[in-house]
A and B are shown apart, each in its own frame.
Chain A
Amino acid sequence: MAAASRAFSWRLRALRWVAQAVLPVANLALALLLSGLVVLAVGENPGRALWLLASGAFGSVEAIGYTLYYATSFVFTGLAVAVAFHAGLFNIGAEGQAYLGGLGVALLCLGAGGWPTTLVVAAAIVVAAVAGAAWAFVPAWLQAQRGSHVVITTIMFNFIAAALMTHLLVNVLIKPGQQSPETREFAPSTWLPQLHDVARALGWEIGHSPVNLSLVLALAAGALVWLYLWRTRWGYELRALGHNRTAAVYGHIRPARTIIVAMSISGALAGLMSLNEVMGVQHRLLLNFTGGAGYVGIAVALMGRNHPVGIVLAAVLFGALYQGGSELSFDMPTLTRDMVVVIQGLIILVCGALEHALRSPVEALLRS
């Protein structure tokens, strides 16, 4: 009797694990199917579009490098959204937090021309995280103390960040005697090493692409987030608050403090995204360098089911969508890169809001 019930519960657990893996794939397939309808509406062939997308993302070593370069940013923003999600908060402000992180990194790199590279990198990690956390702190404090809904305040802070950065780049930080609003290029000693340079130093030749050391930092951040959320008391408090506020308060968890800590960590992770873009690739501060990565983070977190491993996989998928999407718009001029935004929105819809819609059919299919 006991053995039978144990076998049953084991099967149930196995079923849940399979469902965890199969569901995202089924969701992705549904989102791609819906996107295919949009491609049809534009008058192109969806099958060919998918093929161009896939080969553009994985067709060569360079393409894979570009995919991983985009994925790096999305790992950071995906982790940012996920940490807030675990505390029951929806951080839509990763975009603005990453933008401000970039401001911090740029100011540091502009001033640290003579420093050794390792010192600059270490300082930049701190500065990016602190700047991002600071931009998340205000909405967090308002949510914790005044009850202003964090969704609306973070959206507003995205708009405010955009206005602030446009002002700074157009009027203050712009390189004198130039039209486009961007800073001067940083000194090469402050650049994050790109992976093809590192590989060459080790005697390997890999294709030329912008993927850089921040990829390693992103993976490390994922591991740290996992440790924090599932192996520390603070992470437990954070998740407890997200699951059941009443029970958390009953267990002597202080909601206000936990909300502020969760949002600050979230903002710090978003801020780190700027290391990839500003320090690793552009080597200057550009207008809108974030390029929507903060919003992609929402899709990545939902698709990755808020777990670091899932987030890394989902980030690679979205990196492929971004890289393949630009190749696609090159080969199919009627399809702009906004097509990627459509796919991203549909994935959020299917994985996030309609997650229960596919669950019962998938589980029924697995059970049979």
Chain B
Amino acid sequence: MSDAFLFAALLTAATARGATPLVLAALGGLFAERAGVVDIGLEGKMLASAFAAAASAAMTGSAWIGLGAGIVAAVMVSLLHAFACVTHHGNQVVSGMALNITLSGLTAVLGYAWFHEGSQTPLLGPGARFGPIELPGATALGNVPALGPIYREIVNGHNVLVYIAAAAVPVVAWIVYRTRFGLRLRAVGESPGAVDTAGISVAATRYRALVLSGVLCGLSGAYLSIAHHASFIRDMSAGKGYLALAALIFGQWRPVPTLGACLLFAFADAVQARLQGTELPLVGVMPVQLIQALPYVLTVLLLAGFVGRAVAPAAIGVPYVKER
């Protein structure tokens, strides 16, 4: 096997791992925003889930209980967002930022007080986190020319949440475009008045959308702390919630293009990690700190270049007041 193939395989696998939390969070945001609720609180939900998952996995020794706790925590944060924005018609961006700031502090305070390891949770053992999965026939099929190595090196050997993220894209697309709930969801985001007239509750639909957003952010946050890493580290989401939101906008609020945007961000990050310390043409060795800013610069460029014409759900950000 050539070095070039191995390098490409490593890069692709790193892209898949890096894209997983982005895809899960962005799909969560897709439900919320398609229902007309701005979901800038993805970051906070991810942090809540990452902390709850790592803390519960550390105490019970089970990754699955950790995952469950992470989802419950993220759904609770999502419900708080719904309470402020749907029930009380609050400003959605302000509510999301408030939750992000609160969770950033809360996870650090609780982590420090409960585990006495400087805002970290204890390091998780093998059973308490999701390890790589050997797919059936990876070794046997690995010798098949061309496709075999791709299956063995790239598709095989990730943890379960990576495969869940991959499966989530078609499932979410099916829910949004092919189910009755999906139709109502999109209608609530485009024209809540019409939905209300048809006798469907706008508030209930938006609450359901935010619960789904919480579930997906729960998966995303748990991935960070009990699959990708082996403990909770303060502020470990490091802007991934915002990147996911940018990917959602860049993907024009559609599942498959959003997946593409997430892969692009993850690829930039994977390249970034491998560029550190290498000589580049024209500029020489780039300082590590500047290379690390690459995904953020890319986000600004993408939003500036292409999204000017993106059509957001018509009712996004607007609280629905029935009596008007």
Contacts and interface: CB of A to CB of B under 8 A. Distances in A.
7 contacts: A146-B307, A149-B249, A338-B112, A338-B234, A341-B101, A352-B94, A356-B90
Interface string A337-368: 01111111110110011111100000000000
Interface in B283-309: 287, 289-290, 292-293, 296-297, 299-300, 303-305, 307-309
A336 B99 contact: no
B95 A148 contact: no
A122 interface: no
Interface in A86-143: 90, 92, 138, 142
Q: Which of A41, A302, A345 has the largest count of B CB atoms less than 10 A from its CB? A: A345
B109 interface: yes
A146 B108 CA distance: 37
* Chain B contact patch, size range: 35 or more
Given A151-B93, A353-B95, A163 B300 contact: no
Contact of A156 (B105, B113, B299): B299
B307 A147 contact: yes
Contacts of A349: 80, 84, 95, 98-99, 102
B104 A152 contact: no
B230 interface: no
Contact of A342 (B109, B245, B303): B109
B109 A152 contact: no
A142 B113 contact: no
B110 interface: yes
A159 to B, nearest CB: 4
A164 B293 contact: yes
B303 A335 contact: no
Contact of A38 (B106, B234, B249, B309): B106
A214 interface: no
A298 interface: yes
B91 A353 contact: yes
A342 B113 CA distance: 14
Nearest to B103: A345
B290 A354 contact: no
B191 interface: no
B253 interface: no
Closest 6 CB pairs of A and B: A345-B102, A341-B105, A353-B95, A353-B90, A345-B101, A163-B293
A340 B105 CA distance: 8
Contacts of B106: 38, 338, 342, 345
A159 B239 contact: yes
A37 to B, nearest CB: 11
B97 A152 contact: no
A338 B104 CA distance: 8
* Chain A contact patch, size range: 35 or more
B274 interface: no
Contacts of B80: 349
Contacts of B211: none
A153 interface: yes
B94 A338 contact: no
Contact of B88 (A41, A341, A356): A356
A216 interface: no
Interface in A288-303: 295, 298-299, 302
B101 A142 contact: no
A335 B116 CA distance: 11
Contact of B112 (A157, A336, A353): A336
Interface in B207-262: 234, 239, 242, 245-246, 249
Given A42-B113, A340-B105, A90 B300 contact: no
B89 interface: yes
Contact of A167 (B119, B290, B297): B290
B296 A156 contact: yes
A167 B287 contact: yes
B308 A146 contact: yes
A209 interface: no
A5 interface: no
A42 B88 contact: no
A335 B85 CA distance: 31
A295 B101 contact: yes
A160 interface: yes
